[in-house]
């Protein structure tokens, strides 16, 4: 989603909403204030329309005309009645109705766009043995969210197979009664492998027994709906569950990531690195530690200011991150010290990474700070793959770093002294 159109005759509201959307997302937002303006506009250029249900200069329901384009519309209104009005609910492409209020400002609109963004990055799986309810669920989802086709599985067993092959499936809607593996057994199986925020499971069942919902929830479903449900109810449940997952993501990011450099912090490093170290001992693969420390960083701070120092840390983190493999764990260890756990690299290979992909690249890097001053800096590194414990290996790499600091702009490793 990139281009958004706001159609709203309240110019003040419109301008504030535009400002808020541009602040929150990297969108291009265009706005118009009457249905006349609409005629001169190429609607097809937009990915999402936020439209007031009533415009001052038109009696007819102009949304009817808009909904013939294949562009999702979020309808906004100041009148609660118009949200439940039959003719409005039936409008094609209107994926949500949001009430304009002062108190919650644009929170609901922003949340909805975040939900749409989230859904555009993942896949949905519908698990159901009956073709008719497959179709009903599929159609409901497709009218509620502008997403590509959900995947279908005919029973729990098939669903497990599909999920194991495709990790982008994060959202599952499952039936209860199915051949081979029923929905509750499927939910239990899936939950034993994935946390509730890794795979969201919403169960839907027409089973007359009222304990079906609690059995599903106890098995690990995120939510449950009895059939028949209305679309609005399904939408609210989906939206709420995705909001929870997104909030949790945000909290995890805050807990695990360094605010300034956006890479992992020391705490997360230890969490991941100790797990990796344990499996290295079991499965016997190579791991190495690279300790990094920016040279004369205090002097950079003193010469160019703390802000420039911060910028150096950010540039450094980005450079290193871009030059590492996905599996390597890279974290800010503290101040201007960083640490890397490389996986599948012996000491020599880790040394080459530190020397060629980090030290030399940092030496070549130059950029301007906010005062247009040309900034250069260098980094030193210590490498080790020795030690019976993670702490020992870190200590050994740290000793090598200490040695590198005798000369600076240098990488040292234990094998060089054998
Ligand atoms: P050496 O070459 O021996 O590594 O010297 P150095 O100056 O890089 O190392 P030293 O440990 O003496 O100084 C590190 C400085 O980093 C001191 C501290 O004020 C600064 N620092 C720590 N965290 C931050 C930060 O988040 N931002 C900025 N701008 N500076 C920081
Ligand atoms: Mg069934
Ligand atoms: Mg330093
Ligand atoms: Mg230091």
User: What's the confidence (pLDDT) of residue 168?
Assistant: 93
Q: How confident is the model at residue 60 (pLDDT cuts 50, 70, 90)?
A: low
Please name which ligand lies nearest the alpha carbon of 298. 1
Please name which ligand lies nearest the alpha carbon of 295. 1
User: What's the confidence (pLDDT) of residue 324?
Assistant: 95
User: What's the confidence (pLDDT) of residue 187?
Assistant: 97
In order of 238, 264, 329, the CA distances from 338 in angstroms are: 40, 10, 11
Q: Cα(393) to centroid of ligand 4, in Å?
A: 19
User: What's the confidence (pLDDT) of residue 140?
Assistant: 87
Of residues 364 and 136, more confidence is placed in 364
**pLDDT of 230 above 90:** no
Task: Classify domain 121-253 at the CATH class level.
Answer: alpha beta
Of residues 416 and 142, more confidence is placed in 416
Question: Hey, which CATH number is domain 266-417, 3.40.50.300, 3.30.70.270, 1.10.150.110, 3.40.50.720?
Answer: 3.30.70.270
Say which CATH topology domain 3-105 has: Rossmann fold (3.40.50)
User: What's the confidence (pLDDT) of residue 77?
Assistant: 87
pLDDT in tens, 164-214: 999 999 999 999 999 999 999 999 999 999 999 999 999 999 888 889 999
User: What's the confidence (pLDDT) of residue 104?
Assistant: 52
Neighbours of ion ligand 2 (CB under 5 A): 129, 175, 177-178
| Average pLDDT over all residues of the chain | 91
**pLDDT of 418 above 90:** no
**H helical segments located in 103-130:** 107-121
Atom of ligand 1 nearest to the CA of 295: 2
Residue that is written with structure tokens 């609690």 in the block:
214
Q: How many helices (H) and strands (E) does the chain have?
A: 17, 17
**pLDDT of 81 above 80:** no
Cis previous bond, 254, omega within 30:
no
Phi-psi region for residue 125, left (φ > 0), alpha (ψ -120 to 50) or beta?
A: beta
Please name which ligand lies nearest the alpha carbon of 297. 1
- Region 299-328: mean pLDDT is 96
User: What's the confidence (pLDDT) of residue 147?
Assistant: 82
Q: Is 266-417 the same fold as 3-105?
A: no
Please name which ligand lies nearest the alpha carbon of 301. 1
pLDDT in tens, 268-300: 999 999 999 988 888 889 999 999 999 999 999
**pLDDT of 90 above 80:** no
Residue nearest to atom 19 of ligand 1 (CA): 298
Strand-strand pairing, 48-52 and 94-99: unpaired
Helix (H) or strand (E) holding 345: none
**pLDDT of 264 above 90:** yes
Q: Cα(104) to centroid of ligand 4, in Å?
A: 46
Highest mean pLDDT among 38-42, 250-254, 295-299: 295-299
| Ligand 1 binding residues, C-beta < 6 A | 260, 293-299, 301, 306, 309-310, 313, 335-336, 405, 408
Neighbours of ion ligand 3 (CB under 5 A): 293-294, 297, 336
Percent of the chain with pLDDT over 70: 97
Provide the residue ranges of all domains of the chain, joining segments of one domain with +: 3-105, 121-253, 266-417
Q: Cα(401) to centroid of ligand 4, in Å?
A: 10
**pLDDT of 363 above 90:** yes
- Region 232-258: mean pLDDT is 93
Q: How confident is the model at residue 133 (pLDDT cuts 50, 70, 90)?
A: confident
> CA nearest 1: which of 108, 111, 121?
121
Q: How confident is the model at residue 116 (pLDDT cuts 50, 70, 90)?
A: very high
Q: Sheet with 337-343: list strands edge to edge.
A: 329-334, 337-343, 287-294, 379-384, 411-413
Q: Cα(297) to centroid of ligand 4, in Å?
A: 8
**pLDDT of 251 above 90:** yes
Residue nearest to atom 27 of ligand 1 (CA): 310
- Region 348-364: mean pLDDT is 97
Mutate which of 335, 377, 402 for ligand 1 pocket (most atoms within 8 A of beta carbon): 335
Q: Cα(298) to centroid of ligand 3, in Å?
A: 7
Q: Cα(294) to centroid of ligand 4, in Å?
A: 7
**pLDDT of 103 above 60:** no
């Amino acid at each position: 989603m990139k281009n958004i159109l706001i159609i709203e005759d309240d110019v003040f509201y419109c301008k504030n909403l535009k400002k808020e959307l541009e602040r929150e997302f990297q969108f291009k937002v265009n706005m118009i204030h009457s249905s006349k303006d609409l005629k001169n506009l190429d609607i097809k250029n937009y990915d999402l329309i936020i439209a007031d249900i009533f415009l001052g200069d038109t009696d007819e329901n102009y949304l009817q005309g808009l909904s013939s384009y294949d562009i999702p519309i979020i309808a906004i209104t100041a009148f609660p009645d118009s949200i439940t009005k039959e003719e409005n609910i039936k409008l094609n492409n209107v994926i949500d109705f949001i009430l304009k209020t002062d108190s919650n400002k644009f929170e609901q609109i922003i949340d909805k766009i975040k939900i749409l963004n989230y859904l555009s990055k993942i896949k949905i799986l519908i698990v159901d043995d009956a073709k008719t309810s497959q179709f009903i669920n599929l159609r409901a989802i497709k009218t509620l969210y502008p997403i590509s086709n959900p995947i279908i599985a005919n029973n729990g067993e098939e669903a497990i197979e599909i999920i194991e092959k495709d990790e982008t499936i994060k959202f599952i809607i499952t039936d209860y009664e199915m051949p081979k593996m029923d929905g509750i057994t499927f939910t239990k199986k899936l939950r034993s492998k994935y946390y509730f925020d890794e795979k969201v499971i919403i169960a839907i069942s027409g089973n007359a027994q009222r304990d079906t919902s609690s059995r599903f929830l106890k098995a690990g479903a995120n939510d449950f709906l009895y059939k028949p449900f209305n679309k609005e109810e399904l939408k609210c449940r989906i939206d709420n569950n995705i909001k929870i997952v997104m909030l949790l993501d945000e909290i995890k990011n805050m807990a695990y990531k360094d605010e300034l450099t956006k890479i992992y912090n020391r705490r997360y490093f230890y969490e991941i690195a100790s797990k990796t170290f344990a499996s290295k001992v079991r499965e016997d693969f190579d791991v190495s530690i690279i300790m990094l420390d920016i040279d004369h960083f205090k002097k950079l701070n003193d010469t160019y200011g703390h802000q420039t120092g911060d910028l150096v840390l950010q540039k450094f983190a980005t450079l290193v991150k871009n030059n590492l493999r996905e599996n390597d764990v890279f974290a800010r260890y503290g101040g201007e010290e960083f640490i890397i756990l490389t996986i599948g690299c012996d000491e020599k290979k880790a040394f080459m990474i530190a020397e060629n992909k980090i030290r030399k690249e940092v030496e070549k890097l130059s950029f301007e700070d906010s005062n247009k001053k040309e900034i250069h800096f260098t980094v030193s590194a210590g490498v080790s793959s020795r030690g019976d414990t993670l702490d020992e290996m870190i200590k050994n790499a740290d000793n090598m770093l200490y040695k590198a600091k005798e000369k600076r702009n240098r990488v040292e490793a234990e094998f060089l002294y054998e």
